[in-house]
Structures are given as C-alpha cells and as structure tokens.
Amino acid sequence: MIALLLQQVAPVVVLFHGGATTLMRNTSAMPQTVTVEVRATSPTDTITPRATVAALISPASFTLGPGERQVVRLHVRVDPHGAVLRMLSCWTPVERVAATARVHLITRVCVNAVLR
C-alpha cells in the first residue's frame, strides 16, 4: 500500500519563490477523486497537520481515472513563520453503490508531502 501511495504523490515537493508544481498519478484500478490543500505542522510534530495555509492551488480537486495523471500547481501566499509546510492530498475511490447495499464502506487515504 505504501509503495502505491509513493507512486501517486512525490514525498517532497520543492517550493521556489513560494510556488511549486508536482505530478499526481492514479495507480489504482478505479477512478479516484482527489483534493489538495496546504497545511502547516510544527517542526517537532511532523505527523499532524494543523491549520490550512493560504495558498493558490490549481486544480484543488479533480477526478482521475485508472492510470491518469494530473499536474498540480500551488503558490503559498504567506510565510509559515517556522512551521513545516505539507501538501495534503486526499484520495477517495469513486464507486457505484448497488441499490440493494445496506452498508457501503469507502476508504479515503490522505498523503502528506513535505514542501521545501
């Protein structure tokens, strides 16, 4: 599972003058809806994203079919004041639910990529 996630999103995305570009890929066998946002973490807590950071993200949400790719561009508007910036991308499978289904569980996976 982790190997597939690393193929979907780069683990480190480099910021240059506040801007960055990265490629996202759908390596699964079903369509995925993707949302992207920039969050900050403290230097001592690199796991839990805190508040959303003001950023321009294009596109901020999209759907990828199996094997499809999407270039995502972002520009951070503010200085994070010592925080570690992370690009949080959440991948949700797009599934058709049968009319007879009583319970339907879909797993949403969110991936943190460090912005440097």
Q: Note the pLDDT of residue 87.
A: 87
pLDDT above 80: residue 54: yes
pLDDT above 90: residue 72: yes
Point out the least confidently predicted range of 2-6, 79-83, 89-93. Answer: 2-6
State the pLDDT confidence band at 39, using cuts at 50, 70 and 90. confident
- Residue 48 sits in a domain whose CATH number is 2.60.40.10
The pLDDT of 28-53, averaged and rounded, is 80
Q: Do the Cβ atoms of 24 and 70 come closer than 8 Å?
A: yes
| Count of domains forming the chain | 1
Domain that holds residue 38: 2-97+106-115
Cα torsion through 16, 79, 51, 27, rounded to 10: 0
